[in-house]
Amino acid sequence: MGSALLSGVLGLLRNKLIAQIFGAGPAVDAYNAAFELPDVIYYLLIGGVASTTFVKLLSSYETAGTLEEGDRALSNILNIVGVVLLLAILAGELLAPLYVRYKFHNFDGSAQTAALCVRMTRILLPNQLLLLAGGVFGARLLSRKIFVYQALQPLLYNGGIIAGALLLGRWLGIYALAAGAAAGALLGFFFINLLGARRIGMRWSPSFNVRHPTLREWVRLSLPLILGQSIVTLDPIIRSYFAANIHGGISLMKYARDLFAAPMGIVGPAAGLASLPFFASLWAEQDIARFSAAVNRSVSRLLAVSLLLTSWMVTFAGPATDLALSGGRFRGHDATEAAELFVLFSLSLVFWTSQNLYARAFYAAGDTLTPMLSGTAVTVVSLPVYALLFRGYGIAGLVVASDLAIAAHMGALAVLLHRKRMVSVAELPWVEVGKALLAAVVSGLVATVSRRLLPAGASHGSSLLWLLAGSVLWLAAVAAMLIVTASALPAAVLRRWRPAR
């Protein structure tokens, strides 16, 4: 989570540079759209959660004390799936113009924007091979509960994009961002995980056995994730399809979403990634009671932290967006619209973070079919909602539809875990969640009222003053409310902080 915090800061710096240098126009639309075809190919062939399925497979080898055999099995999967993915990437290089033409139909009005998108798509496609290999090597580390290399991964990736913008932007223009993303993927996805895996003794082997039982088990675990894409992976693809109708719509929504992703990444994916090996161990021991208690304990604390973060993000959306994005080619009206979208995204934080843990609970139990069916059903039902709200409210309607879809996805996973008697929703510490909600509301009101006590103005200085002073008051109000309500959250955080320190 410390790494996710730093990565979030780097992500904000990355977006600040992109906004100031390139603004929110067609070139940035093309750059953001260029990631889509590579991601689609990866999701359709790997399922989008390579390290998750690999960790589950390695758990059985670790329990049996045969990790060397597990290394050979993982190498076999990497070799076979890598060849398939390579062929798909080559096909993507050829078909990129067709994909851009039909998916981003608004680019037809600008041949230059479409050509930019195609060329950057071709630069980014090979990253998926690096992501696959990194997922294999990273799974070996996660199975040993070693997280430091995974912690460095997003830092190196974001650092690559920042370095590309600063060092190559003057000569390559928008292409510098794609080149930086390629370099960041090489270092962050592949090299750092390879280094860590070799240090703990993992060795790659050139095996190529299509009948290996572990390969069949990987296919069994991954096929539901491949065939049934949930709203988690499809939400940005759906939003970009509609947003392509609006000039600069893709980039503006991406700026707001990335600003939201900075705090979300601190508590959501980080917690899910760290919890998976522990959940898998409990399930392997068939200790269902401890498994349910562990998931509920993790979810309740994540909900509490998410509610507090939501309070801060909604309260300080204006100054945060101004400081994070405004300047250069990113104008004041762009910042205002981005702030409004950021507020709407923020309302879904509790759903994005908790669905991560509920999904990991299924994966730890070796059940990828149930979340696949649930996620697919939610996605199908949500499609007309996206279309309807976009028609009525534009980009803001797309964000609201995204919020509703992820809320439905999270709720469905929680209900299914309860019905399968894996995790009891009734045993979730609802009182603790209620205390956090009360603290979030009160602290937000206190910080909002404090704005009247500060000098008015529309400069970066006034935004920074309110952000700093208001945040201090907000934090004080949160602490006071948690103490008054005797919340268990502060003690839980301190118990984690002391051994970590």
Domain limits, the chain: 34-227
pTM of the model: 0.75
| pLDDT per position as a tens digit, 97-145 | 999 988 887 675 578 888 999 999 999 999 999 999 998 888 888 878 7
Structure tokens at 470: 């208001």
- CB distance 208 to 81 below 8 Å: no
Tens digit of each residue's pLDDT (9 = 90 or more) over 334-387: 888 899 999 999 999 999 989 988 988 898 888 878 888 898 899 999 999 999
Mean pLDDT of 72-92: 93
Percent pLDDT > 70 in the chain is: 91
Buried residues in 326-355 as b, exposed as e (16+ CB within 10 A): bbeebeeebbebbbbbbbbbbbbbbbbbbb
Q: Kindly report the backbone phi and psi dihedral angles of residue 24, in degrees, each rounded to the nearest multiple of 5, phi listed first.
A: -130, 40
Write down the pLDDT at residue 71.
87
> Three-state secondary structure along 376-395?
HHHHHHHHHHHHHHHHHHHH
Contacts of 186 (CB under 8 A, 6+ apart): 130, 160
Residue pLDDT, tens place only, 171-181:
899 999 999 99
In this prediction, residue 388 carries a pLDDT of 96
3-state secondary structure of 330: strand
| 3-state DSSP assignment of residue 287 | coil
Please return the burial class of 80, using the count of CB atoms within 10 Å of its CB with bins 0-12, 13-18 and 19+: middle
Burial 156-187 (b: 16+ CB within 10 A, else e): bbbbbbbebbeebbeeeebbbbbbbbbbbbbb
- Retrieve residue 435's tokens: 């205390």
Indicate whether 224 pLDDT > 80: no
CA distance 399 to 236: 10
Please give the structure tokens belonging to residue 444.
């937000």
Amino acid letter for position 79: N
**pLDDT 10s digits, 229-258:** 678 888 988 998 888 777 778 888 988 998
Cα gap 23→401, rounded to integer Å? 26
Nearest partner of 138 among 59, 214, 197, 204, judged by Cα: 197
- Residue 465 scores a pLDDT above 90: no
Q: Count the residues in the chain.
A: 501
pLDDT band at 34 (very low <50, low <70, confident <90, very high): very high
User: Which of 340, 285, 338 lies closest to 314 in space, CA to CA?
Assistant: 340
**Which among 1, 7, 11, 490 has a CA at the least distance from the CA of 256?**
11
